[in-house]
Amino acid sequence: MHKIFSVSDVTSLVKNKLENEIPMFFIEGEISEFKRHGSGHLYFVIKDNNSILNCIIWRSTANKLSISPKVGMNVILHGRLSVYSPQGKYSFVANSIKENGVGELFQKYEELKKKLLNEGLFDSLNKKAIPKYPLNIGVITSRTGSALQDILQVFKEYAPHINIVLHSAKVQGKNSAKSIIEALNTLENYPKLELIIIARGGGSIEDLWEFNDEKLARAVYKSNIPIISGVGHETDTTIIDFVSDYRCTTPTNASELSIRYWKDLETKINQFEDQLFQNVNKRLSYDKLQYSELVNSYGFKRPKDIINGWREHLNGLSEKLQNNIKNKFDNVSTKLNYEIKQLNAYNPDTILKKGYSIVYDNAGKVIKSTKNVNKSDKIDIKLYDGNIKSIVDSVESN
Domain boundaries, the chain: 7-102, 107-258, 262-346, 350-391
Q: Where do the DSSP E strands lie in 183-293?
A: 195-200, 227-231, 246-247
CA torsion angle 217 257 32 142 (round to 10): -70
d(CA 232, CA 71): 14
Q: Confidence class of residue 338 from pLDDT cuts 50, 70 and 90?
A: confident
At 69-79, the pLDDT tens digits run 888 888 889 99
Q: Exposed e or buried b for every residue in 358-391, given b needs 16+ CB within 10 A?
A: ebebeeeeebeeeeebeeeeeeeebeeeeeeeee
Least confident of 24-28, 277-281, 290-294, 393-397: 290-294
d(CA 140, CA 148): 9
User: Closest by alpha carbon to 165, among 131, 145, 188?
Assistant: 188
Per cent of the chain over pLDDT 70 is 96
d(CA 204, CA 172): 11
At 146-204, the pLDDT tens digits run 899 999 999 998 888 999 999 999 998 889 999 999 999 999 999 899 999 999 988 77
Q: Confidence class of residue 305 from pLDDT cuts 50, 70 and 90?
A: low
Helices 214-222 and 104-119, interaxial angle, to 10°? 30
Q: What average pLDDT does the segment 330-334 reach?
A: 83
State the average pLDDT for the chain. Answer: 86
State residue 165 phi and psi, 5-degree precision.
-105, 105
pLDDT of the residue at 387: 86
Query: When comparing pLDDT for 354 and 55, which is higher?
Result: 55
The segment with the largest mean pLDDT, out of 87-96, 351-360, 373-382, is 87-96
pLDDT of the residue at 11: 84
CB contact at 8 A, 155 and 259: yes
- What is the Cα Rg of the chain in Å? 33
d(CA 324, CA 317): 10
Q: Confidence class of residue 303 from pLDDT cuts 50, 70 and 90?
A: low
Q: What average pLDDT does the segment 348-370 reach?
A: 81
**Residue 54: is its pLDDT beyond 90?**
yes
d(CA 169, CA 196): 13
At 309-318, the pLDDT tens digits run 778 888 888 8
With the C-alpha atoms ordered 105, 110, 113, 114, is the resulting torsion angle positive or negative? Answer: negative
Q: Which CATH superfamily is domain 7-102 in?
A: Nucleic acid-binding proteins (2.40.50.140)
pLDDT of the residue at 302: 59
What CATH number has the domain spanning 107-258?
Answer: 3.40.50.261
